[in-house]
Amino acid sequence: MNSGNRPGSVPAIELRGASKVFRTPSGGVHTAVRDLDLTVGRGEFVAVVGPTGCGKSTTLTLVSGLEEPTEGEVLIDGGPVEGIRPEVGFVFQQDAVFPWRTVLSNVAAGPRFRGVPKAEARARARDWLGRVGLAAFADRYPHQLSGGQRKRVALAQTFVNDPAILLMDEPFSALDVQTRALMSDELLELWGGSRGSRPGAQAASVVFVTHDLEEAIALADKVVVMTAGPATVKEVFPIGLPRPRKVESVRLEPQFIELYREIWACLGEEVRITRERGAARVA
């Protein structure tokens, strides 16, 4: 699946020495991300883990084009990111649905905004609703769905636009444990089949932010561990587990357990630093 970074090939996403400094309401400055180097190969699935508040979402915001780096470079396909690009898809923790529209209309909305004629947009939406197991729910409204079903709508809404790049910020964290495992499997299947109609078709290049190290290892080709804030890359762990994977069985494999132990040793230290800082602030 993953072509990684073949010599001479341009990575899908690259951050070079990227820093982001925010002005705070009290007139001070806050460095959320500092001197960050990160490469995502074409068709590669990268999971980013780090302590709470370290700057993971800010990193995604830089890649999305919603924010510009204060220093350094953020490149997509070798060119600087300037604003939001149509080939980038997002899935967040919160649902991004129009509550007054049916499920079908919600999924068709992306292609419609991109100028696809109505009949074709609806046909594509039906196809993706079928792939996420919601064909029978096309005429429902979002409030008539369960949390897991709404998340499937979010995936259909994203994949229907055939994204070359997929940015996911804790997309499954609001779900119960079992639904979460199911959704991870479904995501891997959709991603594997997401080659769409793009030229040189390949699976989407994914950056997946999560607090859950098991989820990160089960899904990704590589896991990036961030430091306590301001975020920079502490270490990158390649995940050589064979694909296709099923999250509930892969996590029982000895190789998985060894990776978990190794990555947790690296991440746990940053979590401890973050906790101690919090305690020092309270004291």
Ligand X SMILES: Nc1ncnc2c1ncn2[C@@H]1O[C@H](COP(=O)(O)OP(=O)(O)OP(=O)(O)O)[C@@H](O)[C@H]1O
Per CB under 6 A, 92 contacts ligand X: no
Per DSSP, the three-state class of 94 is coil
* Site map 163..202 versus ligand X, x via CB under 6 A: ----------------------------------------
The binder of ligand X chosen from 5, 10, 22, 241 (CB under 6 A):
22
33 vs 19: CA distance, rounded Å: 5
* Contact present, 207 and 39 (Cβ < 8 Å): no
Tell the smallest beta-carbon distance from residue 207 to ligand X (Å).
Answer: 12
One residue of 12, 13, 32, 187 binding ligand X per CB under 6 A: 32
Q: Is 50 among the residues that bind ligand X (CB under 6 A)? A: yes
Helix (H) or strand (E) holding 156: helix 147-159
Query: Per CB under 6 A, which of residues 208..267 are in contact with ligand X?
Result: 229
Asked if 57 touches ligand X (CB under 6 A), the answer is: yes
Cβ proximity of 146 and 183 under 8 Å = no
Given the rule CB under 6 A, which of 51-59, 101-109, 129-137, 185-193 is the region that contacts ligand X? 51-59
**Chain centroid, CA 176 distance in Å:** 19
CA dihedral 113, 118, 120, 124 (to 10 degrees): 60
- Of 23 and 261, which has the nearer Cβ to ligand X? 23
3-state SS class at 174: coil
CB of 104 to ligand X, least distance (A): 32
**Least distance CB 218 / ligand X (angstroms):** 19
The one segment of 55-63, 133-141, 239-247, 263-271 that binds ligand X by CB under 6 A: 55-63
Sorted by sequence, the CB contacts under 8 Å of residue 7 that are 6+ apart come out as none
Total of residues contacting ligand X (CB under 6 A): 13
Comparing CB distances to ligand X, the nearer of 109 and 206 is 206
Residue placing its CB nearer to ligand X in the complex, 203 or 213: 213
Under 8 Å between Cβ of 190 and 154: no
**Longest distance between any two alpha carbons in the chain, whole Å:** 61
Contact assessment for residue 154 and residue 94, using Cβ atoms and an 8 Å cutoff: no
DSSP 136: G
- Please identify which residue in 3, 4, 16, 53 interacts with ligand X, judged by CB under 6 A: 53
> Which spans of this chain sit near ligand X (rule: CB under 6 A)?
22, 24, 30, 32, 50, 52-58, 229
